[in-house]
Structure 1
Amino acid sequence: MAVAARVPKSLRVLVSEGNSTSAREAITILGLSGHRVEVCDPSRVCLARFSRFLSRFHRCPGLRQDPAGFLGFVERLLAAQHFDVLLPVHEQGFLFARVGQRLSGRTGIALPAFESYRVAHNKAGFSRLLDQLRLPQPPTQIVKSEAELRVAMRFPSVVKTSVGTASRGIWFVRNADDLEAVMRDLRAQGLSGQDLSVQGLGVQGFGANRTFADEVLVQDFVNGITGKAQAVFCRGQLLGFHGYRQIAAGAGGGEAIKQSESRADVRAHVAAIGEHLGWHGALSVDYVLADAATPLLIDCNPRLVEPMSAYLAGVDLVGLLLAISQGEIPQASQHSRDGVRTHLAMQALLGCASRGGDRKHIARTCWQLAARRGAYADSTEELTPARLDWVSLVPLAMVALALLVQPRWGATLANKGWGAHLLDLDSIAIIARQDFPG
Structure 2
Amino acid sequence: MLRKVRKAVNSNTKKGKNVSAPPAFVTYGWCRSSYAVVLSLGRRGIDVHVGDASPLAMSRFSRYCKSFTKLPDFFVEPKRYFELTCEALKRTGAEVLLPGHEDVGIFCRHRGDLPSGVSIALPEWDNYRIAEDKFTVLDMAQEAGCPVPETIEVTSLAELKNMARTTTYPIVIKARTGNSAKGVRIVHDKDEGADMFKELVQTFGLFHERWPIVQEFLPGEAAGVCVLYDHGRCVASFAERYLRCKEQGKFGTSTLRETYDNHQLISKAVSIMDRLEWHGVAHLDFVADKNGEFRLIEINPRLWGALALALFSGIDFPYLWYLTALGKDNIGPGVIRNRKIKCRWLIGDCLAFVELIKRDKVREALRLIIPERKCYHDDFIVRDPLPLLLEISDYFTKFIKAKGSMNPVVGNMIR
TM-score with structure 2 setting the length = 0.85
Preserved CA contact (<8 Å) 2:30 2:391: no
1:415 partner SS: coil
Q: Structure 1 residue 382: deviation in Å? A: 2.2
2:141 partner SS: helix
1:412 partner SS: coil
2:63 partner SS: coil
Preserved CA contact (<8 Å) 2:349 2:368: no
1:228 partner SS: strand
1:35-91: CA deviation from partner (whole Å, max 9, x where unpaired): 222111111122323322222110112211111111111222233342121001211
Match of 1:186 among 193, 196, 201: 201
Aligned to 1:206: none
Match of 1:157 among 154, 159, 171: 171
Aligned to 1:392: 387
Preserved CA contact (<8 Å) 2:49 2:94: no
Preserved CA contact (<8 Å) 1:310 1:336: no
4+ residue segments displaced more than 4 Å:
2-5, 357-367, 396-400, 407-411
Preserved CA contact (<8 Å) 2:227 2:281: yes
Tell me if 1:414 matches 2:406. yes
In structure 2, do the counterparts of structure 1 residues 365 and 53 end up closer, same or farther at CA, with 3 Å as the change threshold? Answer: farther
Tell me if 1:124 matches 2:142. no
Aligned to 2:13: none
1:288 partner SS: strand
> Partner letter of residue 280 of structure 2?
G
Q: Structure 1 residue 186: deviation in Å? A: 2.0
Q: Structure 1 residue 26: deviation in Å? A: 2.1
Preserved CA contact (<8 Å) 1:124 1:215: no
Aligned to 2:350: 349
> Partner letter of residue 172 of structure 2?
V
Q: Structure 1 residue 240: deviation in Å? A: 0.5
Distance 2:182 2:392 in 1: 26
2:215 partner SS: strand
Preserved CA contact (<8 Å) 1:137 1:297: yes
* Stretch deviating more after TM superposition (234-243 or 53-62): 53-62
Aligned positions, number: 392
Preserved CA contact (<8 Å) 1:143 1:149: yes
Q: Structure 1 residue 281: deviation in Å? A: 0.3
Within a 5 Å distance, the mapping from 1:34-73 to structure 2 comes to 34-73=45-84
> Partner letter of residue 412 of structure 1?
G
Tell me if 1:253 matches 2:252. yes
Q: Structure 1 residue 336: deviation in Å? A: 4.0
2:380 partner SS: coil
Distance 2:363 2:45 in 1: 39
In structure 2, do the counterparts of structure 1 residues 249 and 363 end up closer, same or farther at CA, with 3 Å as the change threshold? Answer: closer
In structure 2, do the counterparts of structure 1 residues 393 and 113 end up closer, same or farther at CA, with 3 Å as the change threshold? Answer: closer
Aligned to 1:107: 118
- Structure 1: segments with no counterpart, 5+ residues: 193-211, 426-438
Q: Structure 1 residue 315: deviation in Å? A: 0.7
TM-score with structure 1 setting the length = 0.81
In structure 2, do the counterparts of structure 1 residues 242 and 65 end up closer, same or farther at CA, with 3 Å as the change threshold? Answer: same
1:89 partner SS: coil
Q: Structure 1 residue 129: deviation in Å? A: 1.1
Q: Structure 1 residue 21: deviation in Å? A: 2.7
1:307-326: CA deviation from partner (whole Å, max 9, x where unpaired): 11101111111111001100
In structure 2, do the counterparts of structure 1 residues 152 and 56 end up closer, same or farther at CA, with 3 Å as the change threshold? Answer: farther
In structure 2, do the counterparts of structure 1 residues 71 and 288 end up closer, same or farther at CA, with 3 Å as the change threshold? Answer: same
> Partner letter of residue 182 of structure 1?
F
Aligned to 2:14: none
Distance 1:413 1:137 in 2: 31
The RMSD of aligned alpha carbons is: 3.0
* Stretch deviating more after TM superposition (324-333 or 286-295): 286-295
Preserved CA contact (<8 Å) 2:57 2:391: no
Preserved CA contact (<8 Å) 2:237 2:336: yes
Preserved CA contact (<8 Å) 1:157 1:218: yes
* Stretch deviating more after TM superposition (314-323 or 16-25): 16-25
